[in-house]
């Protein structure tokens, strides 16, 4: 039994609730976790993450990120990510910049990290997402984005030096009818 099935058996089925609601929004489409090899290999989707620090400015766009691989996720023509915030935390906002990945942004790539230099997004419009428990945020993951530092507020009751920023997250990609040969397809992966 996989992690999400075990959690669902205990009544903690956040991933299944989210994925079913998204599926209900697109009744005429195929909506499923991504697979390879005619469905015999299934991607994982619905990752629980504890982000304890800031991230570099970056984007997540499968057709570029896994360019050298022959994977189904490289067929997506539009991609979003969702974050479901699971615990109260101080700090840790997500900043989404109005700058999308295009090949010409590679000149701003920081070779010392997975991120991009700050001058790429210096004058961009920004949206700030505060991680409130129970809130769910969707955004185009092709847009440059980053996470601010989590404030180090002690959690003595759990024996932690500070509370981590906890999320349930997944990418969702669209494979259009022109590629599927039939219905549009939304695929999940993490």
- Alpha carbons 30 and 28: distance in angstroms, whole number: 7
The predicted pLDDT at position 65 comes to 87
φ/ψ region of 38 (left if φ > 0, alpha if ψ in -120 to 50, else beta) reads left
- Alpha carbons 51 and 160: distance in angstroms, whole number: 14
Instruction: Provide the whole-model pTM.
Output: 0.89
Could you tell me the end-to-end alpha-carbon distance of the chain, in angstroms, rounded to an integer? Answer: 18
pLDDT string in tens for the chain (190-residue length): 565 566 666 666 788 889 999 999 999 999 999 999 998 999 999 999 988 788 999 999 998 888 889 999 999 999 999 999 998 888 999 999 999 999 999 999 999 988 999 999 999 999 999 999 999 999 999 999 999 999 888 888 878 787 888 999 999 999 999 999 999 999 999 9
């Amino acid at each position: 039994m996989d992690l999400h099935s075990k959690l669902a058996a205990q009544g903690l089925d956040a991933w299944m609730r989210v994925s079913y609601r998204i599926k209900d929004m697109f009744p005429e489409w195929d909506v499923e976790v991504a697979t390879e090899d005619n469905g015999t290999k299934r991607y994982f989707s619905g990752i629980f993450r504890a982000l304890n620090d800031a991230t570099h400015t970056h984007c997540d766009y499968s057709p570029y990120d896994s360019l050298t691989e022959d994977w189904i996720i490289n067929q997506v023509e539009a991609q979003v990510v969702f974050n479901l915030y699971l615990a109260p935390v101080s700090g840790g906002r997500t900043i989404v910049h109005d700058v999308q990945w295009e090949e010409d942004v590679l000149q701003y790539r920081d070779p010392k990290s997975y991120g991009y230099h700050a001058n790429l997004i210096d004058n961009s419009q920004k949206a700030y997402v505060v991680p409130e428990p129970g809130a769910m945020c969707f955004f185009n993951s092709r847009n440059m984005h980053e996470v601010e530092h989590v404030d180090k507020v002690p959690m003595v009751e759990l024996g932690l030096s500070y509370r981590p920023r906890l999320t349930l997250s997944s990418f969702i990609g669209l494979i259009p009818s022109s590629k599927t040969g039939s219905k549009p397809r939304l695929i999940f992966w993490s």
